[in-house]
């Protein structure tokens, strides 16, 4: 293993592997990622895998929207596959939460996110197996879906390795010394 590196990343989940890849892409290829188990063995591998845009703050909603562009164009932007499947995403809230949901949808639309309020009749068309009432809050994101978190993670790591980085498994970071 390398004794020195320009960047040391601790943790081989999707965040660490994405950072490793993006640093290498920016020219910081003398980097090492330490993963104490195997890549994707943390919460990444247990994720529900949904790629939705419905968040209540602009920062997270914007990040989700930008991430969706990566998931849907993963082969061209990163290489490999994200396993993304565009299913659409239905938001259903109780009547009491409807005003809040509508505010969120307006905020997301301001950001350019493809989302809209729908009716119970629309839901009957989109997802006939789902029963909803007209007074519930209903919204639809046609471009959302799910991806494969393990595949995303290992693809990032693989592309980062192609650029000269290393990401050993079974490498636990035990001490941090700040100089």
Compute the distance between CA of residue 21 and CA of residue 80 in angstroms, rounded to an integer.
13
Among 69, 66, 85, which residue's Cα sits nearest to residue 151?
85
* Dist. CA 18–CA 173, nearest whole Å: 19
Q: Is 141 in the site for ligand FAD (CB under 6 A)?
A: no
CA distance 21 to 131: 43
Q: Is 14 in the site for ligand FAD (CB under 6 A)?
A: yes
Q: Is 154 in the site for ligand FAD (CB under 6 A)?
A: no
Q: What gap in Å lies between CA 176 and CA 2, rounded to an integer?
A: 17
Whole-angstrom Cα distance, residue 106 to residue 99?
A: 11
Our CB check for ligand FAD shows the closer of 63 and 111 to be: 63
**70 scored as a contact of ligand FAD (CB under 6 A):** no
Smallest distance from the beta carbon of 89 to ligand FAD, in angstroms? Answer: 10
145 binds ligand FAD (CB under 6 A): no
Stretch that binds ligand FAD, among 39-47, 73-81, 107-115, 123-131 (CB under 6 A): 39-47
The one among 9, 20, 47, 90 contacting ligand FAD by CB under 6 A = 47
All residues at 6 or more sequence positions from 59 whose CB lies less than 8 Å from its CB, including other chains = none
Q: How many helices (H) and strands (E) does the chain have?
A: 6, 8
Is residue 152 close enough to count as binding ligand FAD by CB under 6 A?
Answer: yes
Q: Is 43 in the site for ligand FAD (CB under 6 A)?
A: yes
Residues that bind ligand FAD (CB under 6 A): 10-16, 34-37, 41-44, 47-51, 147, 149, 152, 172-173
């Amino acid at each position: 293993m390398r004794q020195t590196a320009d960047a040391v990343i601790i943790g081989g989940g999707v965040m660490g592997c994405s950072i490793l890849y993006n640093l290498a892409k920016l020219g910081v290829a003398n980097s090492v990622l330490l993963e104490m188990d195997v890549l994707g063995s943390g919460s990444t591998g247990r994720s529900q895998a949904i790629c939705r845009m419905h968040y209540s703050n602009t920062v997270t909603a914007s990040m989700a929207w930008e991430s969706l562009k990566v998931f849907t164009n993963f082969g061209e932007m990163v290489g490999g596959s994200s396993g993304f499947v565009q299913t659409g995403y239905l938001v259903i809230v109780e009547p009491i939460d409807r005003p809040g949901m509508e505010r969120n949808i307006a905020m997301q639309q301001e950001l350019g996110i493809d989302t809209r309020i729908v009716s119970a009749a629309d839901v009957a068309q989109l997802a006939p197996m789902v029963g909803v009432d007209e007074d519930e809050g209903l919204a639809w994101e046609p471009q959302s879906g799910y991806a494969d978190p393990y595949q995303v993670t290992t693809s990032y790591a693989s592309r980062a390795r192609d650029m000269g980085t290393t990401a050993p498994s079974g490498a636990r970071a035990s001490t941090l010394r700040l100089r």
